[in-house]
Structure 1
């Protein structure tokens, strides 16, 4: 996992609580469910402070804008 083409590049994973994440970043659940699968390598374009009280302690930053690593921006 390296930093390139944006904020972060890594693979989509899912934790025991059902959260999708990439490295230290929480991923938007609906975006992952409708466009990606576990193990896809993605580039995170932007991150924000995680607005969810339930997952903030585990993931204090969240990405809503990300795309497959092999696709151009």
Structure 2
């Protein structure tokens, strides 16, 4: 969706054909997403890291580290 001064990225949670949750180009932590959000929720991503998973790194080179529900 967008970038702004406070967040790395703001967008809706989506799920790909492999079952990965993502927001724009960023992979979301699976367990944290399942426990706290639902598909379509708009989240603000505050920080990102290199994706440590060899299984999804090619498709999602960056992973969100801190993200939360957008209240705007």
Query: What is the rounded CA distance, in whole Å, between the counterparts of 1:58 and 1:52 in structure 2?
Result: 11
Displacement of 1:64: 2.5
1:6 aligned onto 2:12: no
Per-residue CA deviation, residues 13-61 of structure 1 (Å, 9 max, x unaligned), is 0000000000000000011000000000000000000000000000000
**Residue number in structure 2 paired with 1:63:** 64
Aligned pairs (5 A) from 1:35-54: 35-54=36-55
Displacement of 1:6: 1.0
What 5-or-longer segments of structure 2 have no aligned partner?
none
Tell me the TM-score normalized by structure 1: 0.93
RMSD, aligned α-carbons: 1.0
What 5-or-longer segments of structure 1 have no aligned partner?
none
Equivalent pairs counted in the alignment come to: 71
